[in-house]
Chains A and B, each alone.
Chain A
Amino acid sequence: MICPVCNKDMFVIEYKRVELDYCHICKGAWFDAGEMELLLETAGLKDGTQAVHDVLKLPEAHTAEKKRRCPICGKNMKKVIIGGEKGVMIDACFQHHGLWFDGGEVADLMKIVSEQAGCKKETESEIMCFLKDVFQG
């Protein structure tokens, strides 16, 4: 998989049997739709296949940040804010291929998760908690 920011090869990190693609240059991470499905269904959430669909339902965020292209289909992705009002802005593929988290976004996200009281059994929360789990070190 090629990093949508640096255009360089990413490597894969597998944790708790779920994979992320990680760019060691910009520290961004790609969360594939299929992997998200595994994570959510392992957590006992009913329909993991809807994860990207749910995120895409969020309103388009107004920003000057450059559009990112999905590393799978190469099409422009949608910018949305997850994790509530003061959440982080991420990119979601309109074709449901997955979600992209910029390097800085992962760090912001970890801050938000640690401020919250634990993880809720709900799509966004599970995704953010998993990312924190992977990158906590």
Chain B
Amino acid sequence: MGALLVFIGWFIGLVFAANGIAGLVIALIIWGIMTLVAYFQGDNILLSVAGAKKISPSDHQQLYDVVEEMKIASGLEKMPDIYIIDDPSLNAFATGRDPNHAAVSITSGLLQKLNRDELQGVIGHEISHIKHRDVLLMSMCSVLLGTIVILSFYASRMMMFGAIFGGGGGGGRRGSSKNSGGGGGAAIIILVLAILLMILAPLFAQLIYFAISRKREYLADASSALYTRYPAGLASALEKLEQSTTPVKNATQATAPMYIVNPFRNKLNVNNLTSTHPPLEERIRILRSMAGGAAYANYDQAYRQVKNTNSGIISPQSAAAAGTVGLRAAVAGGPVEPPVDDKVSRTRDVNDMMYRMNDYKTIECECGAKLKVPPSMQGSMIKCPRCGRAHQA
């Protein structure tokens, strides 16, 4: 994969050299700056654009516990930071250039929808991205992709300019301004080449990028199964994502500028699944077909079975290294609540956490209603819309 990317870079560089080395130097500088920004600032930019808030254990004990369990199961040395994004859509992603500067982010919507087993499956998936340094890999890949897009655009412009005004072979500066008869054929060839390059290079780069991304997604699913020893948890979470109709809030505005410099691929996102992620339905079927154990070998076997192929997705070495791991039973969490009550409690807990974090004040009115008042309205008199009683907020 890397070799192909290098080849594209080299090929574009070659074409550039014909027109002048300056373009290549400029492009390389752009690449260098984008890489540095992605490396040192990528997470901060991403997290502030996404409106993420860092939480402490007391804000949401269950989420903290689940992240800690997955941190231990994966063998990570440092506990990642945990962020909540106030967004009704269902989404989660990992950030961080290395395992010591990592964070897991989850939307309030997803946190409301998932039970403990499902949450563990999703967090296991994200922890795998951190553990396997996918975030850095994918951000470097996306920077390279972005650079190729810029390079090929710039290269084809230069060549068209050269072809039209330069009368063929030479660049604009060296060529004469009048067209000679012999230069016409060469100009057309260069023009065709330029258009082909402009169309093909970014597409090619994107395909490689998606292929790498998909492979990391399978590995993260396999790791989640291994860490949780309960593939049904992630499978069930993915089913909820599949059914969700809520689109990602401001998805385009918030994420499009980040695309070039940011690893916005390492997430469970319904909207992006068609491109960077394998189809959800297939991932669910693989997880559901895991039989006999939760090890990489079991995932690999399920993968071959579902994809009807002989080539697995996990390298034999890592499959062997992980050994055999048994499946566990579903978590029996105290008294069994009807699913809908459970869902209501989860929603109220997550929403109340968001209100606390945004400094809302809660007033319990005698009529049975609870009023939750934002900071801007605190200090004024609030009338309960249900019974009309006045309260000092």
Contact A137 B388 (CB under 8 A): yes
Contact B343 A33 (CB under 8 A): no
The smallest C-beta distance from B177 to any residue of chain A, in angstroms, reads 52
Per the bound structure, the CA–CA distance linking A14 and B383 in Å amounts to: 14
Of A15-23, A77-85, A112-120, the one with at least 4 CB within 8 A of chain B: A15-23
Which B residues are CB-close (under 8 A) to A135? 385-386
Q: Residue A34 contacts which of B109, B243, B369, B383 (CB distance < 8 angstroms)?
A: B109
Which B residues are CB-close (under 8 A) to A32? 88
- The 8 A-B residue pairs with the shortest CB-CB distance, nearest first, are A12-B372, A137-B387, A14-B370, A137-B386, A9-B376, A41-B340, A15-B369, A11-B373
Contact A17 B348 (CB under 8 A): yes
The smallest C-beta distance from B269 to any residue of chain A, in angstroms, reads 16
Find residues 19-48 in chain A having any chain B CB closer than 8 Å to their own CB.
Answer: 19, 22, 24, 27, 32-35, 38, 41-42
16 CB-based A-B contacts, threshold 8 Å:
A10-B374, A11-B382, A12-B355, A14-B348, A15-B386, A33-B246, A34-B88, A38-B340, A38-B347, A41-B343, A42-B340, A49-B244, A95-B246, A134-B385, A134-B386, A135-B385
Per the bound structure, the CA–CA distance linking A18 and B242 in Å amounts to: 25
Contact A27 B385 (CB under 8 A): yes
* Interface membership of A58, Cβ < 8 A: no
* Interface membership of A73, Cβ < 8 A: yes
* Interface membership of A13, Cβ < 8 A: yes
Contact B383 A24 (CB under 8 A): yes
Which B residues are CB-close (under 8 A) to A22? 385
Q: Which B positions have Cβ atoms within 8 angstroms of A?
A: 88, 109, 112, 243-247, 249-250, 340-341, 343-344, 347-348, 351, 355, 360, 367-374, 376-377, 382-388
Question: Beyond the given A12-B355, A19-B372, could you list 13 further A-B residue pairs with CB under 8 A, ordered by the A residue number?
Answer: A11-B371, A11-B374, A12-B373, A13-B371, A13-B372, A13-B384, A14-B371, A15-B386, A24-B377, A34-B109, A38-B344, A73-B247, A134-B385
Contact B374 A9 (CB under 8 A): yes
The smallest C-beta distance from A54 to any residue of chain B, in angstroms, reads 12
Quick one: CB contact mask for A119-137 with B, threshold 8 Å, 1 for yes? 0000000000000001111
Which B residues are CB-close (under 8 A) to A136? 386
Which A residues are CB-close (under 8 A) to B245? 49, 53, 96
* Interface membership of A72, Cβ < 8 A: yes
Contact A73 B250 (CB under 8 A): yes
Known: A33-B246, A73-B249. A12 touches B360 (CB 8 A): yes
Find residues 70-124 in chain A having any chain B CB closer than 8 Å to their own CB.
Answer: 72-73, 95-97
Contact A49 B249 (CB under 8 A): no
Q: Which of B348, B368, B373, B386 has the most CB of A within 10 A?
A: B386
The smallest C-beta distance from B88 to any residue of chain A, in angstroms, reads 6
Which A residues are CB-close (under 8 A) to B367? 137
The smallest C-beta distance from A118 to any residue of chain B, in angstroms, reads 20
The smallest C-beta distance from B36 to any residue of chain A, in angstroms, reads 34
Size range of the chain A interface in the assembly: 20 to 34
Known: A24-B382, A72-B88, A137-B384. A13 touches B243 (CB 8 A): no
Q: Residue B112 contacts which of A11, A34, A96 (CB distance < 8 angstroms)?
A: A34
Per the bound structure, the CA–CA distance linking A42 and B342 in Å amounts to: 11
Contact B351 A72 (CB under 8 A): no
Q: Which residue of A lies closest to B245 (CB)?
A: A96
Per the bound structure, the CA–CA distance linking A136 and B369 in Å amounts to: 12
Q: Residue B385 contacts which of A13, A41, A72 (CB distance < 8 angstroms)?
A: A13
Contact A12 B371 (CB under 8 A): yes
Per the bound structure, the CA–CA distance linking A6 and B325 in Å amounts to: 58
Contact B347 A49 (CB under 8 A): no
Contact A42 B372 (CB under 8 A): no
The smallest C-beta distance from A36 to any residue of chain B, in angstroms, reads 12
Contact A14 B384 (CB under 8 A): no
Q: Which residue of B lies closest to A34 (CB)?
A: B88
